[in-house]
Structure 1
């Protein structure tokens, strides 16, 4: 089994996940749904933006459209950390987080009964 890049066998974790986000636990990404889709905006990073390697990886993943849960899995980071990283990218205008697609409502019971009766009549 391949060990995560941020682990050192002798020393333990080299960079703790929450060090990546400078100890912050809140961001504009707190409300992102697990199945919301992350896509790039195509904008350039503003000069004041500090984009770390994890955020560069998120931008790469977002090229194909990826869910918040998939980002956390791919980066092997806790969801809270990923939400802060995503929030930072969104605040800089680099990504857009789209809500999950709406599922169409289920057909009514009356329609289902009519279909069943129609099939039985055949």
Structure 2
């Protein structure tokens, strides 16, 4: 049986050198109430030059509306940890929470007419 010895060189397999929980200072849950895996987030315009690579990867992935679960899947981060990383980015105002539908409602009057018609059925 042979033993593999790490020689200190990064083999480029995508494994972070620092455990991800160090990035969140050991936090075990997000501070933002109601932040679940289906929560939609989007990147805000901000300078990301000083962000750690893991945070920067999240901000780059959030150029359009995306759920926390999707971020976790794309970046291969654990779900719970992704929620906390997103929460930190929300606190630091790199991301915003919302819904894509918030941007697409142009005329409230149309929605009210639809509601009236549905009630008349």
Q: TM-score range, shorter-chain basis?
A: 0.5 to 0.7
TM-score normalised to structure 1 length:
0.60
Q: Does 1:88 align with 2:85?
A: no
Cα 1:38/1:19, change in 2 over 3 Å: same
**Higher relative contact order at CA 8 Å, sep ≥6: structure 1 or structure 2?**
1
Cα 1:85/1:30, change in 2 over 3 Å: farther
Deviations, residues 29-79 of structure 1 (Å, cap 9, x unaligned) = 46312222110121346xxxx621111011111002211001111121112
Equivalent pairs counted in the alignment come to: 93
Shift of 1:4: 5.2
C-alpha RMSD of matched pairs (Å): 3.0
Shift of 1:6: 0.9
CA distance in 2, matches of 1:31, 1:80: 14
CA distance in 2, matches of 1:29, 1:52: 21
Q: Give the alignment of 1:12-51 within 5 angstroms.
A: 14-29=17-32, 31-44=34-47, 51=51
Unpaired segments ≥5 residues, structure 1 = 8-13, 102-107, 112-122
